[in-house]
């Protein structure tokens, strides 16, 4: 076995390990998590405004009715918000239990199981990708794979909206949402995420960094980031 094969095998097994742990953790907490975030957007006018702008950008840059995937959708409240704005959105999540909860809560919307590391979606098939706090469990070494997948499935002009915790920190959770589990949570510097998106072929259009609200600050949360980016309409090299 060559050194390169050994390195690839190690990366593959690290990836399947974090995917397995993340999947089983969210399977445990799906119901409790859904309750917690059901009305989260009601108190987030800035996020709602950004989702509205995003839907409009997809319609302008690709076409009205172009599909938007909410990747790492959890219980589907963001997917439902996008649909409520007239978008043709569906949800995808790693956790079968999250997908089941999302289907129960939003029976008119399509939800599927899958991983952002290897999307079962055709090249260039989407007008938009939303990843709302769903890369927060992805080890930074796997982010290039994820961003390459987002880029691959977007049509030329397709739009990406990425929400995540700004900063530079790794926290391991053994207990959350009333359950024992095992989750790594990553805070990432927005400039580093922007650089990785550009390396994957995206043009970064906007970086919104907001301060934590009072409740977030009390819970030890810091700044929150939303990056908007798009896949070029020019033919890609290679």
Residues lying near ligand SAM in the complex (CB under 6 A): 19, 22, 26, 37, 71-74, 78, 93-95, 98, 115-117, 132-134, 136-137
- If the CB atoms of residues 24 and 203 are measured against ligand SAM, the closer one turns out to be 24
Q: How far apart are alpha carbons 14 and 137 in whole angstroms?
A: 13
- If the CB atoms of residues 139 and 156 are measured against ligand SAM, the closer one turns out to be 139
Minimum Å gap between C-beta 27 and ligand SAM is 8
- If the CB atoms of residues 132 and 202 are measured against ligand SAM, the closer one turns out to be 132
- If the CB atoms of residues 37 and 53 are measured against ligand SAM, the closer one turns out to be 37
- If the CB atoms of residues 136 and 204 are measured against ligand SAM, the closer one turns out to be 136
Minimum Å gap between C-beta 168 and ligand SAM is 18
Minimum Å gap between C-beta 146 and ligand SAM is 7
**Two tokens, residue 223:** 């700044």
Q: Are strands 111-113 and 169-176 parallel, antiparallel or unpaired?
A: unpaired
If you count them, how many residues does the chain have? 238
Radius of gyration of the CA atoms of the chain, in A? 17
Closest CA to 137 of 121, 151, 116: 116
Q: Which residue is nearest to ligand SAM (CB)?
A: 74
Minimum Å gap between C-beta 196 and ligand SAM is 16
55 Cβ neighbours under 8 A, 6+ residues apart: 68, 82, 85, 86, 87, 128
DSSP lists the bridge partners of residue 71 as 92
Minimum Å gap between C-beta 136 and ligand SAM is 6
Chain Cα centroid distance, residue 177: 20
């Amino acid at each position: 076995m060559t050194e390169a094969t050994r390195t690839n095998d190690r990366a593959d097994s690290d990836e399947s390990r974090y995917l397995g742990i993340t999947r089983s953790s969210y399977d445990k907490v799906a119901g409790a998590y859904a309750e917690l975030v059901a009305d989260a957007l009601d108190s987030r006018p800035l996020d709602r405004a950004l989702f509205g702008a995003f839907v409009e950008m997809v319609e302008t840059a690709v076409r009205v009715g172009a599909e938007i995937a909410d990747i790492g959708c959890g219980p589907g409240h963001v997917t439902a918000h996008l649909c409520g704005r007239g978008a043709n959105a569906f949800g995808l999540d790693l956790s079968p239990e999250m997908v089941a909860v999302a289907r129960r809560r939003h029976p008119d919307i399509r939800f599927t199981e899958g991983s952002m590391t290897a999307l079962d979606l055709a090249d260039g098939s989407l007008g938009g990708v939303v990843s709302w706090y769903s890369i927060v469990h992805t080890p930074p070494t796997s982010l290039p794979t994820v961003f390459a997948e987002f880029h691959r499935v977007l049509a030329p002009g397709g739009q990406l909206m990425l929400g995540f915790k700004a900063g530079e920190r790794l926290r391991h959770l053994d207990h959350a949402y009333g359950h024992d589990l095992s989750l790594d949570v990553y805070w990432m510097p927005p400039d580093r995420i922007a650089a990785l998106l550009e390396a994957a072929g995206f043009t970064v259009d906007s970086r919104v960094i907001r301060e934590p609200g009072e409740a977030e600050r009390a819970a030890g949360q810091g700044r929150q980031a939303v990056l908007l980016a798009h896949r070029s309409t020019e033919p890609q090299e290679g």
